[in-house]
Structure 1
Amino acid sequence: MSTGAGVVAMVKTARSRATRRRIAEAAAELFVRDGYLQTTMAAIAREAGVAVQTLYLAFEGKAAILSAAVDLAVAGDDAPVPILDRPWVARVRADPDGVAALGVFVGAATQIIERFYPLYAAMRAASADPEVADLVTLNKRQRHMVHAQIVRELSEKDGFRPEVGHATDVVYTMVSQETYGLMVAERGRPAAEWSAWVARVLTEELFRTR
């Protein structure tokens, strides 16, 4: 491939990526505001400022757009970097202080859940749709996988005390959309208060602090 052709290809790729992101962001707003089942492809196209045909060129269908919106909300960007390769995970791994490393994790997880919770709630409301239900299940499985790896990293720190499998289940339960939803969305407590509570409980559960 010539240099000129390579530049053209990169520009096309960047435009395609930008279009996909615009569609995913527009769709997420509609799913949260109007509901996933009530949102049509035509409505997504209008919100994104593209033709309906463009939606189908970029995605297989509405569920695929929802999947992209989930990825964008969880990651916070559209960079093709897995969660476990993100800088905050490297900080968890590198910090020799277990409680400090746990704090890095809880802080990052709080930001993720704050971004993702409104869309997650919309997904739960639409889980009668089999494709949406599959995405909810996939998200839970992926979250458990990430938490299991984080716990393995924390288990290498001084003072870590529980069995790794038990610790993973505790982290998976505490650092979840469900507990966030109960305390923040339902009871109206600040997200910072939820985050501090989670960090405090997990510190007591995972590390010898006395």
Structure 2
Amino acid sequence: MAYDNGRRAAAARRTRACILRAAADLFLANGYGATTIREVARAAGVSQETIYKSTGGKAPLLKAVWDVTLAGDDEDLPLAARPEAQAVRAATNPDQAATAYAELAAVVSARTDPLLRLLLGARGSDPALGEFADEVDAERLAGSSAVVRHWFAAGWIRPDLTAEKAGQILWALNSPGPRWHLLDIGWSSAEFTTWLADTIRRSILA
């Protein structure tokens, strides 16, 4: 019975991964508003009922696609526990910390920017996208604040800043707006990563 349960769980995971890939492709190709559960089901080769059971409706499906895109895969491992994020916590001085954070931001943005640009650009067209944007912003702020609390405990934050204020500054620096503005006028990803690391050092680190 344990073997059968394991086989069913593996099959369910493969089905869910197929659904998320199909949904991601359709969201990128057609936009959120024009993508239907019926189309996702057809592309994934499953029934609509399977999608609803696996991920819920379209808004939860979008969030599931986002989570997998953010992490880079569908493994049950949060971004904070992954090697690129662990490198930020493993830094032994402020300079290393700023560089590691900027490099983490580069890895994550390379995965998420195509989807994020599309969704944020259309957020006024659907309440679900507005809620998605708010949730993504809140998650970024929570992540930035967690990093800064670690730096604050290490004594690396400027003495004139609270941990809360420094977390908000880091969140703002790593928001999509500054990155997209600079990339869109011709900066390379490497140039932006260098700028971000330098700006973090100057803005919040002692």
| TM-score normalised by the chain length of structure 1 | 0.87
Q: What residue identity is the alignment partner of 2:138?
A: R
Q: Deviations over 1:9-48 (max 9, x none)?
A: 1121122122112211221121122111011222212332
* 1:197 aligns to 2:199 (yes or no): no
> Which of the numbers 87, 91, 103 marks the counterpart of 2:87?
91
> Which of the numbers 127, 137, 154 marks the counterpart of 1:157?
154
Q: Quick one: distance in 2 between partners of 1:31 and 1:120?
A: 11
Corresponding residue number in structure 1 for 2:37: 41
User: How many aligned positions are there?
Assistant: 203
The answer to whether the Cα contact below 8 Å between 1:97 and 1:158 also exists between their aligned partners in 2 is no
Q: Residue 13 of structure 2 aligns to a residue in which SS?
A: helix
Name whichever of 135-144 and 12-21 sits farther off: 12-21
Extract unaligned runs of 5+ from structure 1.
none
The answer to whether the Cα contact below 8 Å between 2:55 and 2:61 also exists between their aligned partners in 1 is yes
Q: Quick one: distance in 2 between partners of 1:168 and 1:6?
A: 46
Q: Deviations over 1:108-128 (max 9, x none)?
A: 121111211111122223323
The answer to whether the Cα contact below 8 Å between 1:45 and 1:52 also exists between their aligned partners in 2 is yes
Corresponding residue number in structure 1 for 2:134: 137
How far residue 173 of structure 1 moved from its aligned partner, in angstroms, is 0.8
Extract unaligned runs of 5+ from structure 2.
none
The answer to whether the Cα contact below 8 Å between 1:102 and 1:154 also exists between their aligned partners in 2 is no
| TM-score normalised by the chain length of structure 2 | 0.89
Q: Quick one: distance in 2 between partners of 1:143 and 1:111?
A: 15
Q: How does 1:1-210 map to 2 (within 5 A)?
A: 5-127=1-123, 128-157=125-154, 159-161=156-158, 162-184=161-183, 186-208=184-206
Q: Deviations over 1:110-153 (max 9, x none)?
A: 11112111111222233232222111111111110010010111
